Each structure stands twice: as C-alpha cells, then as structure tokens.
C-alpha cells in the first residue's frame, strides 16, 4: 500500500494545487491570486535565509558546548521545510508551510518523531537518545559477546600476513 501512495500523491497533488488556484482566482481575482503566490514566495525566501542562518549558528553553538542538538535540529529543519514549502507556488504547499510555522504543530510532530530520533556521536561508543528508554532487566555490557578461548597450540601467527608485525620484509 505504501508503494502506491507516492505515485498517487505525485498525480493528485498538482491537480489539487491547480484546483486551489482556480478557487482562489474566483475568490480574489487574478491579481489577488498572483499577489498571494508572489508574497508567499518572498516570505518563504526571507524565512529560509533567516532560519537557515539561525539554524547553522545554533548548531555551531551547541557543538562548541558539547551538547547534542536533537530537538533543535528537527525544529530548525521543520522551519526550513516550511520556508521551502512557502517558496513553492501553490496554496496547499503554502498551507502546509504555514502550519509548520506554528510551534504547537512542530511540537506534535516532534512528539511523534522524537521517539525514533537517535544521535550517534562520531568516534565514541555512546548513543544519545532524545528520550530515555524503558529500563531493562539487566544492564548490558558493551564488551560482552562471544569469547573464544584458544590454547597455545591452537594459535599460530602467519608471517606472510600483511597484519603481522614480524613480516621479515621492510615495507
């Protein structure tokens, strides 16, 4: 079902946008419709510039402080998506963009996305979740795993191996 959803949406969305143009043209006329489309594009461009720069500054500041920017990243990303939607011509995209500008809507989206949001710090073995997981019965040791115990006669070093330290040739 999900596979069919995208092609159907790809066909239906432009038709709905055209219907929106026609309806708005009947309500406010040609020049009013053009004014709304151009005005929303200008608003989207300004918002994209302001929010994009604000998001970059905020992420940089949080990185310098050593904080993980989970919620701020998603919140700023939604503001950038709202700006892009306002840039696109069409009234349905404008409505979605305006909805993403409302903090309550962004909070609802965050409550759905935040449960699945995982931030991994590069170079470290720690994973930070946006919300704590439910406590497990026993703490898991990251070093736990299958242990292979070899006797002296079961192990031998291959001198031709590129990972061998005592290879004989100097490369």
Say what percent of the chain tops pLDDT 70. 73
> Per residue in 143-167, pLDDT tens?
566 777 777 777 677 777 776 665 5
Torsion sign across C-alpha atoms 100, 115, 132, 130: negative
For the cut 90, the answer to whether the pLDDT of residue 27 exceeds it is: yes
Residue from 42, 52, 144 nearest 94 by CA: 42
Annotate the chain with three-state secondary structure.
Answer: CHHHHHHHHHHHHHHHHHHHHHHHHHHHHHHHHHHHHHHHHHHHHHHHHHHHHHHHHHHHHHHHHCCCCHHHHHHHHHHHHHHHHHHCCCHHHHHHHHHHHCHHHHHHHHHHHCCCCEEECCCCCCEEECCCCCCCCCCCCCCCCCCCCCCHHHCCCCCCCCCCCCCCCCC
Say what percent of the chain tops pLDDT 90. 16
Could you tell me the pTM of the whole model? 0.60
Residue boundaries of the structural domains of the chain:
14-119
Residue from 55, 78, 74, 80 nearest 119 by CA: 74
For the cut 60, the answer to whether the pLDDT of residue 95 exceeds it is: yes
């Amino acid at each position: 079902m999900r596979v069919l959803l995208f092609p159907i949406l790809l066909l239906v969305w432009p038709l709905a946008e055209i219907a929106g143009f026609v309806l708005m043209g009947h309500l406010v006329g040609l020049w009013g419709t053009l004014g709304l489309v151009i005005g929303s594009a200008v608003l989207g461009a300004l918002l994209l510039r302001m929010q994009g720069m604000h998001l970059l500054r905020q992420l940089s500041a949080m990185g310098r402080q050593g904080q993980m920017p989970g919620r701020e990243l998603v919140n700023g990303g939604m503001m950038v998506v709202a700006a892009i939607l306002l840039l696109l011509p069409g009234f349905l995209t404008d409505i979605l963009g305006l909805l993403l500008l409302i903090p309550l809507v962004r909070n609802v989206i965050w409550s759905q996305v935040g449960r699945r949001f995982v931030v991994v710090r590069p170079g470290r073995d720690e994973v930070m979740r946006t919300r704590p997981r439910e406590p497990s019965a026993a703490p898991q040791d990251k070093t736990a795993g299958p242990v292979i115990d070899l006797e002296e006669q079961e192990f031998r070093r291959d001198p031709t191996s590129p990972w061998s330290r005592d290879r004989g040739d100097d490369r």
